[in-house]
Structure formats: C-alpha cells, structure tokens
Amino acid sequence: MVNSEKSSVMQSWLLRALLIMLLDIVVIGVAFFSAFLLRFDFQFSLVLSNYLDAYLLVVPITSIAAIAVFWIFRLYHSIWSYASINELIRMIGAWIVLGLGGLVFIIIDETAHSGGRSVPASVWIMGLFFAAMGTTAVRFVYRLMRHISNAHSSIGKAKGIRNVMIIGGGACGKDVIREYKASENLTSKVCCIIDDNAEKKGRFLEGIEIVGNRYDIPKMVGKYDIDDIVFAIPAASGSERKEILDICSNTGCKVRVMPGIYQLVDGTVSLKKTRDVQIEDLLGRDTVKTNMEGIRSYINGKVVMVTGGGGSIGSELCRQIAKAEPKLLIIFDIYENNAFWIEKELRDTFGEKLNLIALIGSVRNTNRVNSIMKTYHPDIIFHAAAHKHVPLMEDSPNEAIKNNVGGTYKMAEAALRWGVQRFVLISTDKAVNPTNIMGASKRICEMVVQMMDRRAQKQFDAGEVKVRTNFSAVRFGNVIGSNGSVLKVFEKQIAAGGPVTVTDKNIIRYFMTIPEAVALVMESGVYARGGEIFVLDMGDPVKIDDVARKMIKLSGYVPDVDIKVEYTGLRPGEKMYEERLMDEEGLRKTEENPEISIAEPIEMDDELVAQKLVELDEAAKEEVDNIRELVAEIVPTYKPVKN
C-alpha cells in the first residue's frame, strides 16, 4: 500500500515536471522568435529567409541547456503554489549560468564565421532576457492566480469560513499566513495582523494589513468579526506571552499558540505545530536556565538508576539522563506498562547509542533491590518512586507509608551498602507543614535522606566504606502535565463540555513544567555535598480558579455560560496554599543558580527516628487504624485537616 502511494506521488511529480519542461521549451522558442522580430523591425519575411536555420539551431541548444541547468538548480522539484524568494534566487542563479553559456556561444559563433555571426549578439541578449522573464513567469503565475482567487473570495465572510487574526508580524507570522493562503483544505481566512512595533502599523505582510498593537486586539476582533487567533511570536518572553494571552482570553475567540522558539527544533513553522493554550503560557515567566555542562559532567559514563522511571517525573528524568550519555540507564518501576513505553521511546530515539535496561520490581522489596544493586552497581540513583495522589492516600494511609517511607528507607540503605555515589530523592512542597498523609510521608522521606547522609559520613570517616554516598532531596510543587494533574482534568472537562470543577475559589498553587523541574533536579546533583534539601523556585503562585476560567475562554467558550465552573470544596488533606519551607529551616540560594535554594537541615535524634521508622513500618504492614498518630510522632508539624 505504501509503495503504491509512493509510486502514485512519483508519477504525479513527473507529469508536473514534464509539463513545466514543455512550457519552458515553448517559452524559449517564443522568446527567441520575438528577439529576431524585434532585431529586424518585425520584418517576418526577412527572419524566415535569412535566419530560420539560425533560429532552429539556437532554440534546441538553449532549451536543452536550460532544462539541464534548471534540473541542477532543482527548479523542477519545487512546489510552485509555495513559490517564494528562494525559488526566485535559484531562477536568477540558473539564468546567470545560462547567460555565461550564451556569452561563450557568441564568442565561438564569431570565431567560426571569421568575425561575423550566424546569430546577431543582440538577438542572443534579448532572447535570453525574454526567456528568463518568461520561464520565471511560468513558475510564479500559478501562485499569482491563487492569490487573486483568494482575494476575490475573501470579500465578505462566506458561510463556514472562520476569520483569523495573527499576532506577530514577523517571520513566523508570515509563514503562518502563507500556509493559510496556500492550503486548499483550510476553511479559514486571515483578516488582520497585530504587532507591537508602531512602525509596522498600516503596512502589509503577505497582503494582510498590520492593524495595531496588543491593546487593539479587542477592537479589531469586533471590526473584522474574528473567530480564531493565532499567537505567532515564538521568541516572546513568558511575561509578554501571558499579557497578550490574557487580553485574548476576553475576546471570546478560539486561541492557538505557536510553540516557543526552543521547541521549534527544526526551525520550521507550520499550522500543524500550533497548539491549544497551555498553563505554561499563562504563568508569565520564562523557561528556567540550567547548567547542562555540569549535569553532563557527573552523569556521563556513569550507571544511573531511576526508580519510578515510568512515571511523569521518572520518565522525564530518563529522557534527560539519556542525553547526557550514561554508561547504563536503569529504569526501575513496578508498573510494567509505564516501563515498557519509556523504554521503547528511548530506544527509538537513541538507538544503539544508549545502553538501557528496564527492570520490573518494587522499592519495597529488599531482596529485589539488593539483587539489582549487586548486578549493576549503580553510581547514581534518582528516587522518584512514590504514591503521590493526596485524596487516594488519605483513603489508604498505610500504603503511603509502606511505599513512600518504607521504599525510600530501603533504597537509601541499599545505596549506602553498595557504595552508590549519589542518591537524590524527589520530594514535594506538600512535605512542608503537611496536612495530608502523602505530604507527611514525604517529609519523613526527607528526614531519612538527611539521617542517611550523616550515617554515610560517619561510616566513611571510620573507614567502614570506600565510597562516601552523597544523599540529597529536591522539593518542588505541582508539575504541569503530570499524571492526575488538575490541569489535565480541566482539559478533559472542557473537551467534554463541562462542568469544570474547582475545589475552592481562592485555592492557589505553584506550577512548573516537567522538563524544567527535572532539569533543576538533575542540576541540584551538581551542587549536592550531602544532606541538602534543595528547594526549587516555582515562580509566583496562581489561583486555580483563574487558570480554569482562562483555559475555558482561550478555548473559545464563556465561563458559566458555555461551560459551567463548579466549586466542590477542599478534598481531605488538601491545603488552600502550599509552602516551600518550614519556619525553622531557613533558606539560602545557591551561588550558581538563583532558581535553586537550600533549606537548612533541622536537628533530630537519628537513633530515635530510626527506631520510630521500624515501628511505623511494622504498624503499616499490620494495617493499623492509628497510622496518622504514629506519623505525627515523627513529624511534629503534621496537622491533619479535619473534615
């Protein structure tokens, strides 16, 4: 089937190429005949009697030479409905070559006829000039006719046609407009352009007028009866993007966004790359910058293990680790489907360049963990395996303790036993003054990391181990696009026509994209010296209700009219706002990256905590009812929300 389609496409292209070749021959014939007529004052009989042989010699030679040169310059390979300056430059280049060839022919012709010529030089010059103009016109006339046709059909708003506003009068906006005009399948028409450069106002881009700046958007939406808006400024800063999209959200138009310039990997712009507005567009901050060289330096050539490697954070960790070319990447996950898909993705992306293995198992299984350590001897462990859903863990608190606390403790002990160089725990801002069992369990995990780091230092100082295992944790808030994220829920609810459910009108959260969070997690490993809890700068918090309403508006709907917003009340264990650190921790920024800060460790009795951890693990396995009270003995700041 695929071969048949390829054959059909090839045949279609050959037919078009042959047609253009035939037109080139006709144009060259007409061009040189016109040159002869013009040279001899349109005395047709004189041309026929004295120069017919010369004409019959010149036209075939020029035609063959032109077709050969045009082929070399790939002028039979272009899609002429998209003809642009690139095709024009190639045409000019081809005719410069043909002109030089004509000059050589004139010299040879004059030499062969002892100072005379079979073809006057003026005929050669005019013939080549007319032929150049004619062959160029053949290639651009199709686009011209389509432009005239589109302009004619754009008078008034036809039924079923959606009027489009482009934001951005630069190269990206130009490409988007051209694609709208060239496509026969789109039922949309670009009506106006918005650009903040005052010098551009009143000027035209691809025949479309630039009508004003961002503050003119609402007025121009009404004037041109706009249905859709395309944001086409890939290089816009986060704050600029947010401000413009905030204006667009009040127009009632469907808004599409061209990805940021860093996402346009191949540099090409296409309507297929436009996407719906996402939460990162509304956060109003730029993508964080990371120390990629530092990250690469400590991962390159190392055996790296990612627990929970198939999850939202774990899978992105695997992607970014793979780019740093580790000696071996171990994906460890209890859920085989997740492990399968991230393994497949990485093998498809990196092929034989990446040494990779996916292993199934639980961080709660001591024998399985030790078996992996003994076999592969990882140098670095990123511990992302955890139960994270707050409401689910409130209903299954013992499972939160078994997996989060027990799994972290067993992984940390194994790391120390087998001489792992670095152990990095993925934590959460919900660990700060927790009101739910999930957050409290992650706070205990942070305590485990700091306790194990002190134990590692003692063992190293005593000469009991050859490698000083470096333990650290990274604490951050909500990540955009993670499994179960509220924003994913909003997207599905909007697509289903609503209602969109928000727990409380005043609830606020910090957000960061998964790649940003993971890059900072990996960078924190560069600065870790042992026992740190790194706190990521998540920017300014946002009201979830505002986000929900903007997402509805930018999808072309009116909140509470087209799609209802319902308030369901705080869920068990849920806070109105999250905190980044406890009062007694303090905070100091790393000198290398202002986006990463370090929380000062809180003093604790390691022996007492270790004893409590054993008791807590046993209690969780026995499915006791008072697990929250036992957790509160270890985490004094744990204040369960009473519902």
pLDDT tens digits, residue range 469-519? 999 999 887 776 666 667 778 888 888 888 999 888 888 877 777 877 888
Contact 130, 34 (CB under 8 A): yes
Give this prediction's pTM: 0.63
Per the model's pLDDT, the better-predicted residue between 291 and 222 turns out to be 222
Most confident of 177-191, 389-403, 597-611: 389-403
User: Across the chain, which distance is largest between two alpha carbons, in Å?
Assistant: 116
Q: Could you give the CA distance from residue 270 to residue 147 in angstroms, rounded to a whole number?
A: 19
Q: In degrees to the nearest 10, what's the CA dihedral of 64, 67, 72, 76? A: -160
> 């992105």: which residue's tokens?
316
pLDDT band at 263 (very low <50, low <70, confident <90, very high): very low
CA angle 278, 228, 563 (to 5 degrees): 60
Q: Could you give the CA distance from residue 324 to residue 304 in angstroms, rounded to a whole number?
A: 11
Predicted local confidence at residue 75, as pLDDT: 80
Asked if pLDDT for residue 153 goes beyond 60, the answer is: no
pLDDT band at 49 (very low <50, low <70, confident <90, very high): low
Residue 203 CB coordination number (10 Å):
12
**Percentage, residues of the chain above pLDDT 70:** 81
Three-state helix/strand/coil letters over 126-141: HHHHHHHHHHHHHHHH
Asked if pLDDT for residue 54 goes beyond 50, the answer is: yes
Residues in the chain: 643
Q: Could you give the CA distance from residue 432 to residue 443 in angstroms, rounded to a whole number?
A: 7
Asked if pLDDT for residue 389 goes beyond 80, the answer is: yes
Q: Could you give the CA distance from residue 152 to residue 584 in angstroms, rounded to a whole number?
A: 71
Q: Could you give the CA distance from residue 622 to residue 619 in angstroms, rounded to a whole number?
A: 5
> 């390979």: which residue's tokens?
77
Q: Could you give the CA distance from residue 144 to residue 461 in angstroms, rounded to a whole number?
A: 80
pLDDT band at 5 (very low <50, low <70, confident <90, very high): very low
Which DSSP category does 256 fall into? E
Cα of 4 vs its chain's centroid, Å: 34
Per the model's pLDDT, the better-predicted residue between 602 and 203 turns out to be 203
Asked if pLDDT for residue 132 goes beyond 50, the answer is: yes
Mean pLDDT of 282-288: 61
> 């905070």: which residue's tokens?
587
Predicted local confidence at residue 154, as pLDDT: 46
Task: With H, G, I as helix, E, B as strand and everything else as coil, classify residue 307.
Answer: strand
Tokens for 374, please give them: 């003994």
Contact 179, 185 (CB under 8 A): no
* 49-63, 126-140, 459-473: segment of lowest average pLDDT: 49-63
Helix H or strand E segment including 454: helix 437-461
Per the model's pLDDT, the better-predicted residue between 113 and 561 turns out to be 561
Mean pLDDT of 607-612: 92
In the chain the domains, ranked by start, together with CATH numbers, are 2-153 (no CATH), 162-277 (3.40.50.720), 292-479+511-537+579-634 (3.40.50.720)
Asked if pLDDT for residue 264 goes beyond 80, the answer is: no
Which DSSP category does 363 fall into? T
Helix H or strand E segment including 473: strand 470-476
Assign residue 76 a region (left: φ > 0; alpha: ψ between -120 and 50; beta: otherwise). alpha
* 30-39, 265-274, 339-348, 530-539: segment of lowest average pLDDT: 265-274
**Percentage, residues of the chain above pLDDT 90:** 33
Tokens for 72, please give them: 């070399």
Which DSSP category does 502 fall into? E
Question: Which residues, in sequence order, are CB contacts of 42 under 8 Å at separation 6+?
Answer: none
* 135-149, 289-303, 340-354: segment of lowest average pLDDT: 135-149
CA angle 53, 58, 60 (to 5 degrees): 105
Model pLDDT for residues 350-378, shown as the tens digit of each residue = 999 999 999 999 999 999 999 999 999 99
Per the model's pLDDT, the better-predicted residue between 132 and 369 turns out to be 369
